Amino acid sequence: MGKIAFIFPGQGSQSVGMGKAAAEANERAKAIIEQADARLVFPLSDIMYNGPQEKLTLTTNAQPALLTASIAILQLLIEAGIQPDYTAGHSLGEYSALVAAGAMSFEDAVYAVRKRGEFMEEAVPNGEGTMAAVLGMDRDLLLDVCETVSSEGHPVQLANLNCPGQIVISGSKLGVELASERAKEKGAKRVIPLQVSGPFHSALMKPAAEKFRKVLDEITIKDASIPVVANVTANELIKATEIKNKLIEQLYSPVLWEDSVRYMINQGVDTFIEVGAGKVLTGLVKKIDRSVSVFNVFDPESCQQVIDALKEVQ
Average pLDDT over residues 13-24: 96
Judge if 3-123+204-313 and 129-196 fold alike in CATH terms: no
Phi-psi region of 230 (alpha: psi -120 to 50; beta: other; left: phi over 0): beta
pLDDT band at 190; cut points 50, 70, 90: very high
Residue 28 has what pLDDT? Answer: 97
Q: Would the pLDDT of 184 be above 80?
A: yes
- Rounded mean pLDDT, 140-166: 97
Question: Confidence class of residue 314 from pLDDT cuts 50, 70 and 90?
Answer: low
Confidence of residue 52 (pLDDT cuts 50, 70, 90): very high
Q: Specify the pLDDT at position 125.
A: 84
The tens digit of pLDDT for each residue in 282-306 reads 999 999 999 999 999 999 999 999 9
* pLDDT bracket for residue 273 (50, 70, 90): very high
pLDDT at 197 over 80: no
- pTM for the model: 0.96
Q: How many CB atoms lie within 10 A of CB 185?
A: 9
Instruction: Tell me yes or no: is domain 129-196 CATH 3.30.70.250.
Output: yes
Residue 137: what pLDDT? 97
* pLDDT score recorded for residue 127: 82
Burial class (CB in 10 A: 0-12, 13-18, 19+), 71: buried
For 81-91, write each residue's pLDDT tens digit.
Answer: 999 999 999 99
Which residues are CB-neighbours of 184 under 8 A, at least 6 positions away?
191
Average confidence score pLDDT of the chain? 96
Superfamily grouping for domain 3-123+204-313 = Malonyl-Coenzyme A Acyl Carrier Protein, domain 2 (3.40.366.10)
The span from the CA of 204 to the CA of 115, in Å, is 17
Give pLDDT tens digits for 216-256. 999 999 999 999 999 999 999 999 999 999 999 999 999 99
DSSP assignment of 102-169 equals TSS-HHHHHHHHHHHHHHHHHHS-TTSEEEEEEES--HHHHHHHHHHHHHTT--EEEEEEEETTEEEE
- Assign residue 82 a region: left if phi > 0, alpha if psi is -120 to 50, beta otherwise? beta
Section 189-194 average pLDDT? 96
Cα 128 to Cα 118: distance, rounded to the nearest angstrom: 17
Domain ranges in the chain? 3-123+204-313, 129-196
The residues that are catalytic are 91, 201
Stretch 9-34: mean pLDDT, rounded? 96
Q: Determine the pLDDT at residue 1.
A: 72
The tens digit of pLDDT for each residue in 88-145 reads 999 999 999 999 999 999 999 999 999 999 999 899 887 899 999 999 999 999 999 9
pLDDT of residue 80: 95
